[in-house]
Structure 1
């Protein structure tokens, strides 16, 4: 699998996704502040990968602490978590992972566990989250593969593949699983302006796996749908509200509306950790606003006139009514999503083992 991130004895090693597809280089983050920078600058990206990166950032920060008392370490853990949480506001996996690490720390600290043992346990917890993410992606693939056509074209927007996770991928994991089961699938990858995750990343990793891929300008999807050239759409998610509304990369909403108009199934693939039961609807999801230079400049060259106002929201929210199904590691969610989401969380709590075959 593509090594998106890796825990090493001297830090966390990240594949630099800002340099893809032409340069495969790595960035070693040797403290938690550097992990925060890697997340903020999109050297690592994708909700599941961001979550595990944050967990490793917490583990790295605590492991390097010089604190000799739990009281001092408590303050450091709070600072580490707050620093990492401030990096990107939309991907709920970020906050889920930090909270899970804090809960683990608090349980150990309250139990009087010696500091060296706490450090070792947090490293183990972060590594376990890494393994769980890969297992979840493969389970999503197993559940979602039958939804894709036996032969046909599938459109995806942004990158929800191995690069957005710890390996295998969510939306692209479903495509991979279908191909592994003998489906003959060609992929259309929206370029995904302004950061070009589709053109740079999705195309790179699918071609890496010998899956036929065609890159589209973002404004081409509707025309191809009208011509009957797209048979399904599958995307990832950065946050799913309790009613099924889904935040994904900007432009996803437009694709969903087009798919609905043309009678094309529109699927979302995401782990349960991306579903935020505390967020009622998509209107309540915070949308990250990124630097205007991502729009004004391309490859260092200015593309817009001085003085032009710029909007650069990183995400939009797709209402649940446009989503045919949500694919999770524990099975398929369908409308009414409020009920199916609650039922799926109950099922996962009662039977946490994953079906991957």
Structure 2
């Protein structure tokens, strides 16, 4: 079943173009971008107009097709060169989310399997694989949600961080999937959404989409998480991920590590929702995950005005790494795993 009650379509293939919901405009404006070149897709990924690891992967897949659909290659070797160049280019947009590279590699593998076909058919195969990636993501998210729901009970308080939601995927979200499924079943989960500094994905996106879906959500500042845990309002933390290392360390939006430490201190289970495409067995530990650094202006300027002195030094990593020892379970579409079981889970 791939239908969803979530009212969002952040990534669409429509009229031979990629149509993206511009997430930098939410929640005030609902604006869609129509992209027709790989360069436009690169910029949309880089500037967070599309974000969330699964959605980035989907956008990159369509971007790869846009990058090669006008290729004048008339033999496989030339076409492969064009395809590889475009894939390498799109891969420079954001370095941390492994889904980006997974999607590009999956399309390249599809083309390799069909190497004996005419170039026109190879181009069609690229688009068909991108469409398949998006179709499959909706089912993956629902299955993650079903597994997570077995760990929850009606009436629980759930803390989220960043936006692992419907806006970041084809449907349901990853960490938010059980929230939508619980709503379908008549449960009343009480969600506390971290605002997620400095870009406020929790405030702008998670709070917005859950409110639109009629889910009980309360927005809190990041530095209030310890307080609501201590008050007994939170019985579980569920976050998404941009990459899971082979040892079970997890990279996610900056601030996740701190939330995991707080959950550990309060005896609260900390769950990571991770599609198999986010698991990277080629990265041994979290220390090997490349961490993107974002522009200083994300911190020095906010809410339309300057909030820090001119010339101040700024450190702005977009992600942090949560060590496996703080993670209760990693939940994939195939089931629930301890961090040290990730290798066998991926196989």
Q: TM-score, normalised by structure 1?
A: 0.93
Hey, what does 2:73 align to over in structure 1? 67
Deviation per residue, 1:317-352 (Å, 9 max, x gap): 001111111110000012xx33x2222223xxxxxx
Q: Is the 8 A contact 1:149 1:231 kept in 2?
A: no
Hey, what does 1:167 align to over in structure 2? 171
Hey, what does 1:19 align to over in structure 2? 25
- Corresponding residue to 1:252 among 214, 232, 256: 256
Q: TM-score, normalised by structure 2?
A: 0.96
User: What is the alpha-carbon distance in structure 2 between the residues aligned to residue 124 and residue 78 of structure 1?
Assistant: 18
Hey, what does 2:345 align to over in structure 1? 344
Deviation per residue, 1:14-49 (Å, 9 max, x gap): 000000001001011101111111111110000011
Matched, 1:29 2:35: yes
Hey, what does 2:139 align to over in structure 1? 135
SS of residue paired to 1:308: coil
Query: What is the deviation of 1:92?
Result: 0.4
Hey, what does 1:106 align to over in structure 2? 112
Unmatched 5+ stretches in structure 2:
1-5
Q: Is the 8 A contact 2:188 2:216 kept in 1?
A: no
Paired residue total: 341
Q: Is the 8 A contact 2:279 2:346 kept in 1?
A: no
Q: Is the 8 A contact 1:146 1:178 kept in 2?
A: no
Query: What is the deviation of 1:68?
Result: 2.6
SS of residue paired to 2:28: coil
Hey, what does 1:286 align to over in structure 2? 290
- Corresponding residue to 1:265 among 266, 269, 272: 269
Hey, what does 2:47 align to over in structure 1? 41
Query: What is the deviation of 1:120?
Result: 1.1
The equivalences for 1:116-195 within 5 A come to 116-195=120-199
User: What is the alpha-carbon distance in structure 1 between the residues aligned to residue 346 and residue 269 of structure 2?
Assistant: 24
Hey, what does 2:3 align to over in structure 1? none
Deviation per residue, 1:43-76 (Å, 9 max, x gap): 0000011111111111222222232333332221
Report the aligned-residue RMSD.
1.1
Q: Which moved more, 1:232-241 or 1:75-84?
A: 75-84
User: What is the alpha-carbon distance in structure 2 between the residues aligned to residue 345 and residue 250 of structure 1?
Assistant: 25
User: What is the alpha-carbon distance in structure 1 between the residues aligned to residue 15 and residue 111 of structure 2?
Assistant: 20
User: What is the alpha-carbon distance in structure 2 between the residues aligned to residue 148 and residue 156 of structure 1?
Assistant: 14
Hey, what does 1:77 align to over in structure 2? 83
Query: What is the deviation of 1:149?
Result: 2.7
Hey, what does 2:201 align to over in structure 1? 197
Query: What is the deviation of 1:258?
Result: 0.3
Hey, what does 1:89 align to over in structure 2? 95
Query: What is the deviation of 1:152?
Result: 2.2
User: What is the alpha-carbon distance in structure 2 between the residues aligned to residue 149 and residue 156 of structure 1?
Assistant: 16
User: What is the alpha-carbon distance in structure 2 between the residues aligned to residue 258 and residue 321 of structure 1?
Assistant: 13
Hey, what does 1:234 align to over in structure 2? 238
User: What is the alpha-carbon distance in structure 2 between the residues aligned to residue 64 and residue 329 of structure 1?
Assistant: 36
SS of residue paired to 1:68: coil
SS of residue paired to 1:151: coil
Moved over 6 A (4+): none
Deviation per residue, 1:126-176 (Å, 9 max, x gap): 100000100100010111112123212110000000111111100011221
Hey, what does 1:351 align to over in structure 2? none
